[in-house]
Amino acid sequence: MTAWRVVIAFLLVSTAPVLAQFDGPGSPGVSASLIRLFGTNFAFTAQAEYQLLAKDNKELIGIPMNFARSGNRLRVEIDLTRMRNRVRPDAAAQVKPLGMDQVVSIIRPDLRATYQVFPKLHSVAKMPMPPSESEAFLKPAKMERTPVGKEKMEGYACVKYRVVATDEQSKRREVTVWNATELRDFPVCVATREGQETAVIRFRKVQFVPPEAAKFEPPAGFAEYADIETLVNGPAAKYMLSNKAATPAPKKSTPPATKPKTSSTSPTKKK
């Protein structure tokens, strides 16, 4: 199981090598730093796209997501088979046989917990959120916004800002944000740079409709596990074995009957 744990840890815990740029638990780019950028947009649903770009702006990783917010509660749905991954092209293919290619992250700072839900396995891993992370979600931070221009982004006229957030521990985080003026100043694009790579989140099809409260709870009847490793060794292993057993072995191909040899004649030459 060691190889599987490496792949799953790579995908679910640190899908992007620079995930720490957003200080995000649970899902790529999802963090207290990000949630503060939504301003007064406390309830909405959206499609999102997370990208990790190399220094030449070429994509290393791309992950489509469904995103929902209600207060300080977040829900992120990911289908890893849709992930574009130049870093580990085979990663999703290794996770799919385990039934872990569909992942729902429910981030609950009020409960100091993050839930990783795996619908195919009817299982959920409940992981404690460190007090410093939960407090970062629940307590406001100092935000300094400096307009640096106007640009069109994701089809909207936007004001481009340089934003510096400072938390209670005096930790600073700088990001570039494109706020759509006709969309309640919603941040349709957020980018941060660290070293030679850039992490970007784009939001599309934003709807200011309060999501159902049940969306932020683990599904009823799902088995709960204390960590990903236990879940991998339990329901994921059983899922793989049962699917292997359910998959019929390929039929042996019957060799074609040998035809009697016929004497070959040379084509008649034209005179």
If you average pLDDT over every residue of the chain, what do you get? 80
- Give pLDDT tens digits for 71-85: 989 999 999 899 888
Identify the three-state secondary structure at position 19: helix
The CA distances from residue 245 to 107, 110, 239, 248, in Å, are 35, 42, 10, 7
Nearest C-alpha neighbor of 234 from the set 225, 243, 246: 225
Residue 205: band (very low, low, confident or very high) from pLDDT cuts 50, 70, 90: very high
Q: Is residue 150 in a domain?
A: no
Residue 27 domain flag: yes
- Name the pLDDT band for 191 (thresholds 50, 70, 90): very high
* Secondary structure of residue 9 in the 3-state scheme: helix
In a domain? residue 6:
yes
Average pLDDT over residues 13-31: 42
pLDDT at 168: 63
Binned at pLDDT 50, 70 and 90, residue 27 comes out as very low
- For position 234, which CATH number holds? 2.50.20
Give the residue, 108 or 11, on which the prediction is more confident. 108
Instruction: Indicate left, alpha or beta for 192 from its phi (over 0: left) and psi (-120 to 50: alpha).
Output: beta
Q: Is residue 59 part of a domain?
A: yes
Which 8-state DSSP code applies to residue 89? T
Residue range of the domain that includes 42: 2-140+203-246
Cα Rg of the chain (Å, integer): 25
| Confidence class for position 254, pLDDT limits 50, 70, 90 | low
Binning pLDDT at 50, 70 and 90, where does residue 92 land?
Answer: confident
Q: Into how many domains does the chain fold?
A: 1
Residue 184 lies in a domain: no
170 part of a folded domain: no
Give the pLDDT score at 255.
54
pLDDT at 185: 95
Pairing of strands 102-108, 113-118: antiparallel
Residue 245: predicted pLDDT:
52
Is residue 198 a contact partner of residue 192, using CB atoms and an 8 Å limit?
Answer: yes
Say which amino acid occupies 33. S
125 in any annotated domain: yes
Tens digits of residue pLDDT in 94-130: 888 989 999 999 999 889 898 999 999 999 999 888 8
**pLDDT above 70 as % of the chain:** 75
Q: What is the pLDDT of residue 132?
A: 72
Tokens of 21: 């740029």
